[in-house]
Amino acid sequence: MTAGPEGITALHAAAEKGHQRTVALLLENGAEVDRKTAVRTVYILGDETAVYGAASQEGRAALYIAAKRGHVEVVKSLLEHGGDIETNRKNGRTAIVIASKKGNVEVVKYLAGRGANLEACRNDRCTPLYYAAKKGHVEVAQFLIDSTAALEASSIDGTTPLMIAAQKGRPVMVEVLIDRGANVEACRKDGCTALYLAAKMGQLRIVKLLLEHGANADARDTILGITPLAVAAIEGHLEVVKHLLANAHASFTSTNQ
């Protein structure tokens, strides 16, 4: 099939415009999806019959886009037509990573059932569970944990799902992760624990939860040597300071003093 000056064929143009019947007709008559051309989009979001797995010049795979938008039937069709379940963007995100980040639990379940790597990660080593925890997608996180996703898998700086949930203010997620066995004393490369990060961000409810589950109120970072109480005071989180003083016998003292 003849291509235009930018490598765009009739199939590519029809697919980009969302003309499902035209796409189907062209495919039935021998049109090929050329992955090397400047394909813009070969998918109809929400209409699985028009999806045939090409990738755009910008590296946005149709499978990735469908997973991002939560169109599980589109995802199914892509994989049935030869889509690569582990295809990823330049930053390393696969379909299950983006589906987890967006909270698209049905897509996550389908991809996992098809054998998607639950420990797939971006270049910064953020896994599907990490993103579910970060965004507060509890159902996704529970499914991933039940499917044996690693609770302590950490990002490139050592941040675990529990830490990012604490930092971002996701109390229900924090409870779920702790109940499933997450380590409350795990720390990043800079020594920051979940409690330290929650205190720094003024997340009082999460500070309370972590203390109730035995978090060390005097754990210090390795850069300034300061405690959760000290960082809460520095950041001006008065209620967190009050709670740490009243309930954890916490210390202000820095190891640098």
Per-domain residue ranges of the chain? 154-257
Q: Which positions ≥6 away from 139 have C-beta within 8 Å?
A: 103, 105
What was the pLDDT predicted at 254? 53
What are the residues whose beta carbons fall under 8 Å from the beta carbon of 80, sequence distance 6 or more? none
Q: What is the pTM of this model?
A: 0.79
Q: What is the pLDDT of residue 29?
A: 62
Q: pLDDT band for position 48 (50/70/90)?
A: very low
Closest of 164, 204, 162, 206 to residue 184, by C-alpha:
162
Assess contact for 76 and 84: CB atoms under 8 A.
no
Share of the chain above pLDDT 70, in %: 72
Backbone angles phi, psi at 39, to 5 degrees: -70, 130
Token pair recorded at residue 17? 């415009």
Taking the C-alpha atoms of residue 134 and residue 170, their distance in angstroms, rounded to an integer, is: 8
Does residue 225 register a pLDDT over 50? yes
**What pLDDT, in 10s, does the model give residues 92-127?**
789 999 999 999 999 999 999 999 999 988 778 999
- Please give the CATH superfamily to which domain 154-257 belongs: Ankyrin repeat-containing domain (1.25.40.20)
**Mean pLDDT, range 42-71, rounded to an integer:** 56
| pLDDT of 65 | 78
